[in-house]
Amino acid sequence: MKAAVVYEAGRPPAYREFADPQPAEGEETVEILAAGLHNITRSQASGQHYAAHGQLPMIPGIDGVARRADGNLIYIGGLKPPYGTFAERAVVTSWALPVPADADPAVIAASLNPGGSGWMALTLRAELQPGQTVAVLGATGAAGRTALQAARLLGAGRVIAIGRSASALEQIADRADQVVRITTDGGWAEQLDGRPDIVLDYTWGDPAAQLLPVLSGRNQGGRLTWVQIGSIAGRSLPLAADLLRSNDLHLIGSGLGSAPMRDMAAQLPAVIDHVAAGRIGVEPVVRRLADVENAWDEPVPTGRRMVFVP
């Protein structure tokens, strides 16, 4: 079959022939219709992600939409290395989840990974309660935008969007009760109204280092749940010991390994339904899989996600 194949970590995949995966008992071969180029896909292909298996050559792609032999659409993921979803075919097990027949495969492929990140963080990690306030740090990217939508759908009373791009914040202003722009002087953190119950952090690095002390200083006896999800602004930050001693601060993470896979899989049907209905969504930038080598490093507009199709 044709596939995008990574031969060397850190270099774009090439469109090449690759041996078809062979189904074992209880497995079936499906036709892949669309697969998203997510941040985790890039980092796994480069060998830098903590969940990267390191096996080369390999086919990247952690999830996608496929068609079964009976014509039904399914959402797939968790393929056995060295196989991924950037290929013409895949072998899947009963884990595959149904996708509505009228859903756009490219939209599902673009939206499930970023859309699921905020949903999982709020349901499985932060355990959002109705009426609580949620702040999304890094709200202008694809995952951050869908996290705002997820917070609303799950019953948040107030939603705060925090990001760096003024134009991108304008695009999502209708999804939030307050919009705060990150500025170079650091004073932006003081602009937040009150203290949120939950922070979904897609940046880490300097923005988190500036916001965390400000929110900790507004301690009025309530819990502050800080969920670390992404690290686009840096992989580390200084953390003063007294912040932990003087607050009911719950600093946790959300990602592969932070919750049982069965619990994460149980949440996905709800996310699929919301994406199919347009309540959660990321606009795809569609490219042909045959063009993967050139498209791999192509800039994508803020808030959108590249998707490869056959």
Q: What's the pLDDT tens digit per position in 188-233?
A: 999 999 999 999 999 999 999 999 999 998 988 889 999 999 999 9
310 pLDDT higher than 60? yes
Q: What is the pLDDT of residue 9?
A: 84
Class of CATH domain 2-112+268-309: alpha beta
- Quote the pLDDT of residue 93: 84
- The tally of CA atoms less than 13 A away on the side-chain side of residue 258 is 18
How confident is the prediction for the chain on average, in pLDDT? Answer: 94
| pLDDT number for residue 186 | 78
pLDDT higher than threshold 50 for residue 114: yes
Asked if 276 contacts 249 with a C-beta cutoff of 8 angstroms, the reply is: no
Model confidence over 142-179: pLDDT tens digits?
999 999 999 999 999 999 999 999 999 999 999 999 99
Query: Looking at residues 121-125, what average pLDDT do you find?
Result: 98
Residue among 112, 4, 115 nearest 61 (CA): 4
pLDDT for the residue numbered 219: 82
Q: What is the pLDDT of residues 34-54, one digit of tens each?
A: 999 998 898 878 665 444 556
Q: Give the pLDDT score at 126.
A: 98
- Cβ atoms of 146 and 115 closer than 8 Å: yes
Residue 141: per-residue pLDDT: 96
Q: Where are the domains of the chain?
A: 2-112+268-309, 127-253
Is the pLDDT confidence value at 85 over 80? yes
pLDDT over 80 at 76, yes or no = yes
Peptide bond connecting 57 to the previous residue in cis, omega within 30 degrees of 0: yes
Structure confidence by residue, pLDDT tens digits, 7-38: 998 899 999 999 999 999 989 999 999 999 99
Tell me if 2-112+268-309 shares its fold with 127-253: no
| Predicted local distance difference test score (pLDDT) of residue 53 | 54
pLDDT band, very low/low/confident/very high, at 95 (cuts 50, 70, 90) = confident
Distances (CA, A) of 225 to 86, 193, 241, 244: 36, 17, 17, 12
Q: What pTM, to 2 d.p., does this model score?
A: 0.93
Q: What is the pLDDT of residue 45?
A: 81
CB 169 within 8 A of CB 179: yes
Chosen CATH of 127-253 out of 3.40.50.12780, 1.20.1250.20, 3.40.1190.10, 3.40.50.720: 3.40.50.720
The pLDDT of residue 10: 82
Average pLDDT over residues 78-89: 95
Q: Cα–chain-centroid distance for residue 194?
A: 27
pLDDT in tens, 297-308: 999 999 999 999
